[in-house]
Structure 1
Amino acid sequence: DIFNRGSFDKKDDPFIFGVASAAYQIEGGRGRGLNVWDGFTHRYPEKGGPDLLNGDIACDSYRLWQKDVDVMAELGVNAYRFSLAWSRIIPRGKRSRGVNKDGIKYYSDLIDALLERNITPFVTIFHWDLPQTLQDEYEGFLDREIIKDFKDYADLCFEEFGDRVKHWITINQLYTVPTRGYALGTDAPGRCSPWVDKKCYGGDSATEPYIVAHNQLLAHATVVDHYRKNYAYQKGKIGPVMITRWFLPYDDTQASKDATE
């Protein structure tokens, strides 16, 4: 038997039973500009996991998204959290350089299809896949220029999708890019100190993670403030997603119980 919402559904139950994805992990590279994960997985294929895969094709959801929606409907989910690929909407990073109308249409069609199936979209504006052009020009979140570019990108998203999207996520897991991307070099863009990993193309694990974290918070706050001041009429909610961990005692000893606190 397939597990779905009907397995535990009750009338008027407010519980959100949903699924989630990230653009780079599922869409494939068709029809978008390069992002930092393209550069990272091709530069360091060994860091992509034992299968050495990248997002060039992935699940090809850019082409097969209707089937994704069909599967969600079959599961009976009432929410789908997905991310927008910045480089699909604005291939060259800055809004002033042009907007990809095909990218806008792709996400607009997806949102419409979800709503037709009574699936609420929860939309992540940034899930780590910064356009490669912005990384090349000023090292992305290491420079405060990112704040304006992120605001311009988010503003376009609110303009195009805000009439239907009422749940916005500014940045996914703010902890991850500073630590894994700039302290350890295990995630894109792959920066760290040589003493951490000599393969990193540059970086300073003692300072850059804090700069990136600070600029992420500033970018997040700027976009939230902009949304609340200029798009309140859309009556949506906006915030970040934080990463958390849940620990269970190894055994029934008091020491193990204390360690979980």
Structure 2
Amino acid sequence: TSSSVLHLLLTRHIEGGRGRGVNIWDGFSHRYPEKSGSDLKNGDTTCESYTRWQKDVDVMGELNATGYRFSFAWSRIIPKGKVSRGVNQGGLDYYHKLLDALLEKNITPFVTLFHWDLPQTLQDEYEGFLDRQIIQDFKDYADLCFKEFGGKVKHWITINQLYTVPTRGYAVGTDAPGRCSPMVDTKHRCYGGNSSTEPYIVAHNQLLAHATVVDLYRTKYKVSCLNT
């Protein structure tokens, strides 16, 4: 029988909104349902992997999957965005159970730390990736994940498709957080922005956040995690 790696599943698409904090796609999809796809749906209710994770893993086993790429929801682990404001034990427990079930079936987890679902609190406070404060908050979030799950996860992705948030979120406004210049916003759906500058600022800060987290992993975790 053949084997395969199942990949690129966003928490927003599969987990649902139960048991986590608000992220920027929640407000965006409610405010602009026409941008959320042909079915005009938000992420409040999905295929509910948050509660049906065991069935998902069982199906992967039946498919002879050897790997599974998925993302952690920052707002599920740290609902208010910053580690200093509290960590959601329920979120940690959920991902531990999922990882344990995958490993039990010899399915290798490939985990993405950020797949565009930034906690809304960080967007409200300092416009998220438009401000360099995000670098420390992303580092703290990654540090927690490496410490908590490093014994089970050996393959990490920092930021999914780094170009997507700057271009679609800040240049044309078709994705969260939905910012763009008035000249681009012909249908008046952006809530502000500058398509000439903001995409480059966001991309730069994402690169800095990526580099910071890579350095953190290499200097603090790589040897210990690979030896477990």
Please indicate, yes or no, whether the TM-score normalized by the shorter chain is above 0.5. Answer: yes
Q: Distance in 2 between matches of 1:204 and 1:101?
A: 38
- Does structure 1 residue 26 correspond to structure 2 residue 20? no
CA contact (8 A) 1:166 1:234 kept: no
CA contact (8 A) 2:170 2:195 kept: yes
The percentage of aligned residue pairs carrying the same residue is 74
- Does structure 1 residue 79 correspond to structure 2 residue 67? yes
Quote the residue 2:196 is aligned against: 206
Gaps of 5+ in 2: none
Q: Deviations over 1:165-184 (max 9, x none)?
A: 00000000001000000001
- Larger RCO: Structure 1 or Structure 2 (Cα < 8 Å, ≥ 6 residues apart)? 2
CA contact (8 A) 2:151 2:225 kept: no
- 1:145 Cα shift? 0.0
- 1:235 Cα shift? 4.3
Aligned partner (choices 128, 140, 151) of residue 128 of structure 2: 140
Aligned partner (choices 205, 209, 218) of residue 215 of structure 1: 205
- Does structure 1 residue 182 correspond to structure 2 residue 170? yes
The RMSD of aligned alpha carbons is 0.9
- 1:233 Cα shift? 2.3
Structure 2 SS opposite 1:80:
strand
- Does structure 1 residue 115 correspond to structure 2 residue 103? yes
Q: Deviations over 1:82-131 (max 9, x none)?
A: 10000000000000000000000000110000000000000000000000
Larger of the two Rg values belongs to structure? 1
Q: Deviations over 1:15-50 (max 9, x none)?
A: xx2112111110000000000000110010111122
Quote the residue 2:90 is aligned against: 102
Structure 2 SS opposite 1:110:
helix
Gaps of 5+ in 1: 1-5, 10-16, 237-261
Structure 2 SS opposite 1:19:
strand
Quote the residue 1:35 is aligned against: 23
CA contact (8 A) 1:181 1:190 kept: yes
Quote the residue 1:51 is aligned against: 39
> TM (normalized to structure 1)?
0.84
Letter aligned with residue 18 of structure 2: R
Q: Distance in 2 between matches of 1:106 and 1:79?
A: 19
CA contact (8 A) 1:31 1:88 kept: yes
Letter aligned with residue 154 of structure 2: K
Letter aligned with residue 71 of structure 1: V
- 1:234 Cα shift? 3.0
Q: Greater shift after overlay, 188-197 or 29-38? A: 188-197
Q: Which runs of 4+ in 1 moved over 6 A?
A: none
Quote the residue 1:70 is aligned against: 58
Structure 2 SS opposite 1:82:
strand
Q: Distance in 2 between matches of 1:58 and 1:234?
A: 36
Letter aligned with residue 187 of structure 1: D
Aligned partner (choices 212, 233, 249) of residue 223 of structure 2: 233
Aligned partner (choices 98, 102, 116) of residue 128 of structure 1: 116
- 1:195 Cα shift? 1.2
Q: Distance in 1 between matches of 2:42 and 2:222?
A: 39
Quote the residue 1:163 is aligned against: 151
